[in-house]
Amino acid sequence: MTLTYRDALAFIDGLLSRERATASAAEAVKLRRVETLLTLLGGPHRRIPTVLIAGTKGKGSTAVMLTSIMQAAGHRVGLYTKPHLVDYRERFRVDGELIGEDTLTRLVEKIRPHVESMGALAEGPPSYFEASVALAFLYFADTSVDLAVVEVGLGGRLDPTNIAEPVLSVLTPVSFDHMDALGDTLDNIAREKAGIIR
């Protein structure tokens, strides 16, 4: 069955309940799920030079600035940020332009059978955020970007975005945030965020 744009959004939104249900799942499982999905999709994350940006404050601003600098230098740049404010497509940009509705629908059609088949695996299907990360890498590979600039979600070491092998890892200021997931000391939080450094 061919999806409409509305169907595609409904499918992705349906993964939100999965996000809530697996919030306490081991972080390593979350990384494994996104790795499985991306492998089923042919490994698009392996074909794109990627910059990962982690930190407590300023990740999105830093990502936008770096993207602008690289575009001004003549590079075709994909940008993945979160959360979106109004439209889910805000998360995915190439050269400053939002992903088109038709393109997003086509990519959701591409990942949907894999997401559904992963339900039979021990770690289960990917969450909303994990599927969004996979969509970003798939989109950037399909549009042949020269560079992907990717904002890390929570932490860094075991965040689904950390599936990429970054050509550059950027840390913005680190402070106390998400202490329940990252630790209750600044050292622990910084260690988790520094997990994107190779």
- The predicted model scores a pTM of 0.89
Q: What's the pLDDT at 19?
A: 55
Which CATH number do you get for residue 114? 3.40.1190.10
Distance of alpha carbon 191 from the chain centroid: 20
Q: What's the pLDDT at 82?
A: 92
Contact indicator for 34, 126 with CB cutoff of 8 Å: yes
Say how many domains are in the chain: 1
Question: For the chain, which residues score pLDDT lower than 70?
Answer: 1, 17-28, 176-184, 186
Euclidean distance between CA atoms 66 and 51, whole angstroms? 9
Euclidean distance between CA atoms 190 and 132, whole angstroms? 25
Q: What's the pLDDT at 171?
A: 85
Q: What's the pLDDT at 174?
A: 76
Q: Which domain holds residue 19?
A: 5-196
